[in-house]
Amino acid sequence: MIDAHAINLGPNGMLLVNVALLSMIGWALLKTEKNLTSQSDVIILALIGIFAISGRILLDPIPNIQPVTFIVLLTGIHFGATRSIILATSIALISNLFLGHGLWTIYQALGWSLVGILGSIISSKIYSNNTLSINPLMPIAVLCGFVFDWVVSLSVLHAIGPDMFLLYILSGIPFDILHAAGNMFFIAWLAIPLSEIMTRHISISQPSVVDNFAKVRV
């Protein structure tokens, strides 16, 4: 028999397939969310985590473009530091089981956790009256792209000397810019609907952003 599945789509074709799959996952998660009861914050974070992990894996062919950073940032804004750290670490570990797991996973978890903590700190200035302000969020998303990449870059110090680190950072600037641009794209495209979903599931008993951050510092 002719193997109809053995079709070489090429990089661009596979990227289109991956985007289509991610869109299907996003649609299915959106439909699932609408059937959840209010204040199901743990469940909604699990669903958002699935989307973030799928997005990182499926968009891997595009250099440094993935939805994780902006999702963790929004999680910090809406749910506080503690939950964003849990989500960030889980995404880093699970997605790296597919993309490659190693020492760098710790730095990725740390980088995304810092993004979530930053989101919790700025929450009161970005999110008020159940409304997310997009304009001030954009430059923060750009900053988060660079912060995450530079934190992850610290992992190379296990292999190279500190004298080479600055050169390594400078050589990665184009990829940092791609990350920042991707964050802006995801903010413009998905921030409002995702914020509305998160807002519907914020638990009344959830600790405040300040309380969460204080616990992290302790």
Q: How confident is the model at residue 217 (pLDDT cuts 50, 70, 90)?
A: very low
Residue 54 makes CB contacts below 8 A (sequence gap 6+) with 21, 22, 25
**Inside any domain, residue 1:** no
Query: In the prediction, which pLDDT does 7 show?
Result: 60
pLDDT digits (tens, 9 = 90+) for 46-74: 999 999 999 999 999 899 999 999 999 99
Region of poorest pLDDT, from 15-24, 160-169, 198-207: 198-207
Q: How confident is the model at residue 145 (pLDDT cuts 50, 70, 90)?
A: very high
**Stretch 16-23: mean pLDDT:** 82
**Inside any domain, residue 47:** yes
> Is 56 in a helix, a strand, or coil?
helix
Give the CATH number of the domain where residue 61 resides: 1.10.1760.20
**Inside any domain, residue 3:** no
**Stretch 90-98: mean pLDDT:** 94
**Inside any domain, residue 196:** yes
Query: In the prediction, which pLDDT does 22 show?
Result: 81
Q: Which structural domain, as residue segments, surrounds residue 149?
A: 10-217
Domain count, the chain: 1
Helices 41-58 and 68-79: crossing angle in degrees, nearest 10, is 170
Neighbours of 77 (CB within 10 A): 27
Between CA 116 and CA 123, with CA 118 as vertex, the angle to 5 degrees is: 95
Q: Can you tell me the distance from the alpha carbon of 57 to that of 162, in angstroms, rounded to the nearest whole number?
A: 31
Query: Which one has a higher pLDDT value, 207 or 95?
Result: 95
**Inside any domain, residue 123:** yes
Query: In the prediction, which pLDDT does 26 show?
Result: 79
**Stretch 157-175: mean pLDDT:** 92
- Contact, 129 vs 86, CB < 8 A? no
Q: Which pair of structure tokens corresponds to residue 82?
A: 């503690």
The residue count of the chain comes to: 218
**Stretch 110-121: mean pLDDT:** 97
**Stretch 115-131: mean pLDDT:** 94
**Inside any domain, residue 27:** yes
Region of poorest pLDDT, from 23-37, 85-99, 137-151: 23-37
Q: Can you tell me the distance from the alpha carbon of 41 to that of 46, in angstroms, rounded to the nearest whole number?
A: 9
Query: In the prediction, which pLDDT does 213 show?
Result: 42
Q: Over pLDDT 70: what percentage of the chain?
A: 86
Between CA 106 and CA 178, with CA 176 as vertex, the angle to 5 degrees is: 120
pTM value is 0.85
Neighbours of 55 (CB within 10 A): 24
> Is 65 in a helix, a strand, or coil?
coil
